[in-house]
Structure 1
Amino acid sequence: MAGTRAFWIDAAHEGTQERYGEQLRKWRHAFEATEGEPAAEGITLDPLHFALGAWEVAGRPVGDPPYVRRHPRVLDATCHRPEEAPGLMAVVELAAPTPVRLPDGWAGWQRQDGGDRTYTAPPYERPTALATLELRVPLPADLLPHPTKARASGLPNLDDAQASIEALVSELNAVVTPFLWKLEGEGDGGPLPEWLRTQIEADKATAETAGGRDWRYVPASEGNRLEFDGPRGVSAIGFHADDLLQPVEAIHIALHDPADAVARCEAELALLALHARDCDECAGGSPCATLRRLASGYRLRPGWRDEWAV
C-alpha cells in the first residue's frame, strides 16, 4: 500500500522545479495581493491566497513530466476558497467502477497507453457509462506555511511556492490515498477483481464482434470445414493451402465458438458481481480463494500477478 499515492512532486526528472519556477513568473498575476491582504513587493503574504496560486500553477502544463504528478485514477484536483467556510476546499475527482453491471455493448473507463496509464473515456461513437467519485476535502488554514517577502518585485518566491505545494500534497494524500487503496484493491493482493473483469469483458466483446453465433465442425468425410450459424462459412480449414488446421484443432475452435464464449463470460461476470455483493471476504476488499481460482484461468494474460495465486 505504501507505494500508492494520490499526488507527488516529481523529483525524478531533471529540470521540473526550474520549469515550475518559469511558470510562477509567467502566472505571477495569480499571486497579486488583493485589497486588505498583507503583501510585500505586490505579492500576497496571505497563506491561503498564496497556496491557491501555487497549486493552480502546478496544475498548468510545465513540460513533460508535470511538476505535480497524480495517480491515474485522479481525473481532476482543484482548490478554491469557499465563501461560507474558512480555509480552503479541495475537490478531487476519481475514476470509479460503475455501481451497476453495464448492458451489453456499453463501455466504461479505459486506460491510455503510456507510462502513467491515465483513465480516459472511450471514443464518442461507443455507448459509455462513466462513474466518478468526488471528494470534497476541507483544508484548514493553519496547515499552510506563511510566504516570505518577495525577493523580486511582483514575483513569488519559488521556495515559498514549493512549501505550499508540499503541504497541500501531504494533506491531500492523507485523505485521498485510502480511497485509491480501496478502488485498486491494494493491501490484499492488488486490484484483482478489476483486472479479472477487464479480461472477461474483453473476451465477451471479441466474441460478440465475431457474431456471437454457434460454429460447427464438419468432418473430413463431409468436407472438412467450419460452418457458422448464419450466412457465413469457410470451405477449407486454415489460412492457405499448405497451412491447414488439423481436424482436432478445428473441433477445438468450434467448441469455443463466440456463442460459447459469450455464455461463459456472462457466467463469470455474474460470479464476480455475486462475490462483490454477498462474499464477506470480497466485500471487505480481499478477493477470496474462489475468486483467485477463477482469475487463475487468465494467468497467462498480461497484467497477471503471482501473488494473486491461491
Structure 2
Amino acid sequence: MAGTGTQAFWIDAAHGGTQERYGEQLRRWRHAFAASEGEPAVAGVTLDPRHFALAAWEVATRPVADSPYVRRHPRVLDATCHRPEQAPGLMAVVELATPAPVKLPEGWAGWQRQDGGDGTYTAPPYERPTALSTLELRVPLGVERLPTPTHARASGLPNLDDAQAALETLVAELNAVVTPFLRELDGVRTESPMPEWLRTQIEADKATAETAGGRAWRYVPAGDGNRLEIDGERGVEAIGFHHDDVLQPVEAIHIALHDPADVVARCQAELALLAEHGRDCQECSSGSPCTTVRRLATGYHLRPGWRDEWAG
C-alpha cells in the first residue's frame, strides 16, 4: 500500500527495509503482545485478535527515531486505538487539524505546514497569538474483520506476518471513515461517474449517425412511391404493405424524424449542454451532477451501465 492521493493512513512500503525495521520493533516491544489473564495464547503471545491488533498498531505508530511504519496524512495530528470499557470491539480516536471556524483577528495565527518532509500541520511559535481548531473522530471498529494471530514461531515473539495483516485491516477500516473528512478539508471532490457515462452514450450515438452519412432522410408517402429516401440515390421500397418484413408508414415516419442529421444535431446540443454544466455550473463543479444533467441522463436510462440512483 502506497501513500498516493488523499489517504488518511498508509503502510510505508515505499522505502527499502521498512518492514524489516518494523520486525525489529516487534522484537523490542514484544511485551506488548504478552497474553493477559484469560486470553488464548501460544508461547506467551496473545491469540486474541483485539489485543494483537492494538499492540501491532502501537508499535507501528510509536514516535521512534526512525519514521513510523504506518504513516499518516499531514492533517492527522494523532491516531490511537484502544478497547473502550463495556464494549466488545475497538475504538479509534483520530484528531485532525482543521481551519478555524471563524475569521481570525489580525495578528493571530492558525495551523501552519512544516517545511520539508511530509508537510505536517504544526503550531506556530509560542510567542505568537494562536488559535488552533481540531476535529476529533471517534471511530468504532468491529472485531469481525481482524485476523486471528497464528502460533508464534519463537517463544514470546509475535509473527511479523500476523502484525502486517492486523495493520492492513486497521488501515483499511480507518481510511474508509477518515479519508472523506480529509477530502472535504482539502477541497478534493469525488466526482460522480455519471457525466462521463452520459457523454459516452451521446458521443456513441453521434458517431453512429455520422457513419450512417449524417444526412436527412425523408418519407415519401404512398401516392409518390411509398418509400423511405436515404439519399438521392438510395431508398427503402415497399413501405406499408403490412407484411412482417417491411416497414409500416408510421414506422418509416418515425425513422425519418430521427435520421442521422437529426441525431447529430441533437447530440451536438446535448454535448454542449453537458460541457457548459461541467464548466460553469456550481453544483456540477462540486462533483455532484445537477438536476439538469440528471434529467438529461434519464433519457438514456435504458442503456447498459445506467444506475437508478443517478435519476436523483
**TM superposition score normalised by structure 2:** 0.60
Contact preservation (8 Å) 1:96, 1:132 = yes
Contact preservation (8 Å) 1:13, 1:65 = no
Q: What is aligned with 2:35?
A: 33
Which structure 2 residues correspond to residues 46-125 of structure 1 after superposition, within 5 A?
46-61=48-63, 63-125=65-127
Task: Output the amino acid matched with 1:187.
Answer: R
Cα distance 1:283–1:87, how it changes in 2: closer, same or farther (>3 A)?
Answer: farther
Q: What is aligned with 1:233?
A: none
Task: Output the amino acid matched with 1:50.
Answer: F
Contact preservation (8 Å) 2:83, 2:89 = yes
Q: Equivalent of 2:15, from 1, 7, 13? A: 13
Measure, in 2, the Cα distance between the counterparts of 1:187 and 1:63: 36
Cα distance 1:282–1:117, how it changes in 2: closer, same or farther (>3 A)?
Answer: farther
TM-aligned CA deviation for residue 3 of structure 1: 1.5
Structure 1: where are the runs of 5+ without partners? 190-279, 287-310
Contact preservation (8 Å) 1:89, 1:137 = yes
Contact preservation (8 Å) 2:35, 2:45 = yes
TM-aligned CA deviation for residue 187 of structure 1: 2.2
Q: Tell whether 2:172 aligns with 1:170.
A: yes
Measure, in 2, the Cα distance between the counterparts of 1:65 and 1:152: 26
Output one character per residue of 1:117-168: Cα deviation in whole Å (capped at 9) or x when no partner.
0000000000000000100000001010000011100100000000000000
Contact preservation (8 Å) 1:31, 1:44 = yes
Larger radius of gyration: 2
Structure 2: where are the runs of 5+ without partners? 192-281, 289-312
Q: What is aligned with 1:137?
A: 139
Measure, in 2, the Cα distance between the counterparts of 1:33 and 1:82: 18
Which structure 2 residues correspond to residues 1-310 of structure 1 after superposition, within 5 A?
3-61=5-63, 63-187=65-189
Q: What is aligned with 1:292?
A: none
Q: Secondary structure at the match of 1:11?
A: coil
| Paired residue total | 196
Output one character per residue of 1:71-128: Cα deviation in whole Å (capped at 9) or x when no partner.
0000000000001211100000000001011111100000001130000000000000
Measure, in 1, the Cα distance between the counterparts of 2:174 and 2:57: 12
TM-aligned CA deviation for residue 61 of structure 1: 3.7
Measure, in 2, the Cα distance between the counterparts of 1:125 and 1:283: 41
Task: Output the amino acid matched with 2:136.
Answer: E
Contact preservation (8 Å) 1:19, 1:62 = no
Measure, in 2, the Cα distance between the counterparts of 1:62 and 1:21: 14
**TM superposition score normalised by structure 1:** 0.60
RMSD: 2.2
Contact preservation (8 Å) 1:19, 1:63 = no
What percent of counterpart residues are identical? 79
Output one character per residue of 1:228-250: Cα deviation in whole Å (capped at 9) or x when no partner.
xxxxxxxxxxxxxxxxxxxxxxx
Contact preservation (8 Å) 1:55, 1:165 = yes
Structure 1 segments, 4+ long, off by >3 Å, are 61-65, 280-286
Output one character per residue of 1:241-300: Cα deviation in whole Å (capped at 9) or x when no partner.
xxxxxxxxxxxxxxxxxxxxxxxxxxxxxxxxxxxxxxx7599699xxxxxxxxxxxxxx
